[in-house]
Structure 1
């Protein structure tokens, strides 16, 4: 009786056929579930011994395997023991095709992300502009990949993709008008990649903000400031403003001035530019340009000096400037030349009023006296 029950026709097969189908599907899915971590460990071990990147890319692709898509494959294989109606059989074939293309997209996307990540890390060490370009290339590649996958899926579902592509051209205009701000940032991102006003790792100043470029995204650029916080700029706004890129600096021009007292004799004033020249040229990685008695200041005689540091490093510039300042102070002190300081003087004219109790000598000394306050 039980054997007859197993042979009773039930929607495309017998209960025996259905049990075989379900058992085979579960077995295939279970094998894939158990085999995935084992195969991943073997590939990782192989990748560590190999010098090529193919093994690493295979590991990344394997990690992107979706078991729910594998289950659809397993169900499709198991269904060969059944004789389903054409409508349901076509539906299962379409689901299998969709699962196949989706899984193919996940594998290709993971391998692409691995390649882009590895290339970006390698480029950061040698060519930061290439690392910036890879961000945009990655987005475009992923967009093209999933567009192709979507068209293949729709084609297998029986949708006329020729008419769909034509409709997308018209709809794309409407969408572009609706999201023109986002598209503006997107094209600004591409402009940054192509024109390269800055790349990842550059130190830039935008208005009153300064920091190191960390990431150039599709809509925004992220900068790490000197205080540690992250500053986010819209790409389109970033290209509209004036930007200073200090990473592109080859040499640093230094201009500084100081003043000496008006009481300094002209002969000593004449020697000061030559003294400054000697001090500056004594520093390493420096090119002297000029030193002059520039002008008569409000409180002092002003000297101006210009020199170049042949290395753009800011800390090196500050070390050199500190050494120059100290040497100038010592040189002027040895010649007894005093730095000019702000001062005010008060001049009184005419007889001073003295109290009646003061002696006559004090009144005589006070007549016509002049007092100065410094």
Structure 2
């Protein structure tokens, strides 16, 4: 180059290092610095221009290009600049190959980063377009799809990098297959949770946004990950359950609940007149049928309790909302209380009648010969006569 020849005209710049004059090394450094400044400045200007276009047009393609530009690493630009500077030098086969392999690895690694950004952007936009439709199943798949996509992408990148290093990939993969058995045994619990997450995705016993009950735990599913699932409980704390344990438990999913069956009972006192006892089912039915979002099923005099006459009532709330159910049940309870109060019907509560006999009522002749043992009741006069 003319610039290099000009430098070599100076005597001390003609001194040679590793087969190149000092002038050549200076020229290579200038090329490296210039290339890096051009690439970095150009990238910054391009990012600003794309940001303005994205703000004006608002297309998804512009947003994707912005994500790709922002994912470009400075180290990648530096390696490209180093490769450009090396072209100004006369390098031997080994140094030239080293620089070429380094540039190839940097390009492949940057391509992997770009691909990851494209994958994440695509999945996020797909979820955003379906979120308005309440598609929790797709949100459940996000973690697994992202994991599998990244695994495949970076596996390809690593294979290409190893190939550029002249590594026998076939032999290496075979070696990984043998070593993979030992690794699988060491992390079998982790792999169990991993396969359980795939089972959740494919079988879909629940999805993000579903309200579920697992054993004695209840809450809304917030995230289904590779190893665990996060549930927001009714009291506000976050429950983290491994996917393997989750699939082993009995899961109650209330997402598909279209109506709620409600069974409740109450008891009235034994001295209630027969006519009012017979009229109670019709009273309760009339109260329930006046409620909105309710379908009456039945009301029956069920059984004779220890201290009450027990009734059982069944109705359906035509909404899965728990708050709606509680509002209706409260209204029914208040209406039954007022109706029974107007009719003079009393609610039963646990009672016990104790009959006490005066000791003087027992004659000396009929008194037992021996004292009464603890816990043994005194015989009544009628019982003694029957003896």
Does the alignment reach a TM-score above 0.5?
Answer: yes
Helix, strand or coil: the match of 1:228? Answer: coil
Residue 281 (structure 1) aligned to one of 289, 294, 300 = 289
Q: Deviations over 1:60-93 (max 9, x none)?
A: 1111111112101111011111001111110110
CA displacement, residues 101-158 of structure 1 (integer Å, 9 cap, x when unaligned): 0011011111111212222333333210011112211100000000000000010111
Q: Which position in structure 2 is the counterpart of 1:140?
A: 148
| Structure 1, unaligned runs of 5 or more | 354-367, 369-374
Aligned equivalent of 1:124: 131
Q: State the distance in 2 between where 1:6 and 1:351 align.
A: 133
Q: 1:9 aligns with which of 16, 24, 35?
A: 16
Match of residue 171 from structure 1: 179
Any residues of structure 2 matched to 1:225-244 within 5 Å, and which?
225-244=233-252
Q: What is the aligned counterpart of 1:202 among 210, 230, 233?
A: 210
* Secondary structure class of the residue paired with 2:230: strand
Secondary structure of the structure 2 residue equivalent to 1:224: strand
Q: Which residue of structure 2 lines up, in the alignment, with residue 304 of structure 1?
A: 312
CA contact (8 A) 2:281 2:299 kept: yes
> How well do the aligned residues superpose, as a CA RMSD in angstroms?
1.8
CA distance in 2, matches of 1:231, 1:134: 20
1:121 and 1:131 in contact (8 A); partners too: no
Relative to the length of structure 1, the TM-score reads: 0.90
Residue 87 of structure 2 corresponds to residue 80 of structure 1: yes
CA distance in 1, matches of 2:179, 2:223: 32
Partner of residue 325, structure 1: 333
1:88-127 equivalences in 2 (<5 Å): 88-126=95-133, 127=135
Q: Distance in 2 between matches of 1:160 and 1:348?
A: 100
Task: Give the unaligned 5+ runs of structure 2.
Answer: 1-7, 362-380, 382-387
Aligned with 1:346: secondary structure? Answer: coil
CA–CA distance in 2 between the matches of 1:231 and 1:128? 19
Pick the aligned partner of 2:223 from 192, 198, 215. 215
| CA distance in 1 between partners of 2:19 and 2:331 (Å) | 93
Question: For 1:190, which of 177, 194, 198 is the aligned residue?
Answer: 198
Q: Look up the SS of the partner of 2:307 in the other structure.
A: coil
Residue of structure 1 equivalent to 2:303: 295
SS of equivalent to 1:339? coil
Report the equivalent of 1:268. Answer: 276
Q: CA deviation at 1:19?
A: 1.3
Tell me whether 11-20 or 226-235 shows the greater mean CA deviation: 11-20
Q: For the Cα contact (< 8 Å) 2:40–2:77, is it kept in 1?
A: no
Contact 1:276 1:291 in 2 (8 A): yes
Task: Tell me by how many angstroms 1:9 deviates.
Answer: 3.1
* Pairs aligned (count): 354
8 A contact 1:119–1:131 mirrored in 2: no
Cα drift, residue 56 of structure 1: 1.1
- For the Cα contact (< 8 Å) 2:31–2:85, is it kept in 1? yes
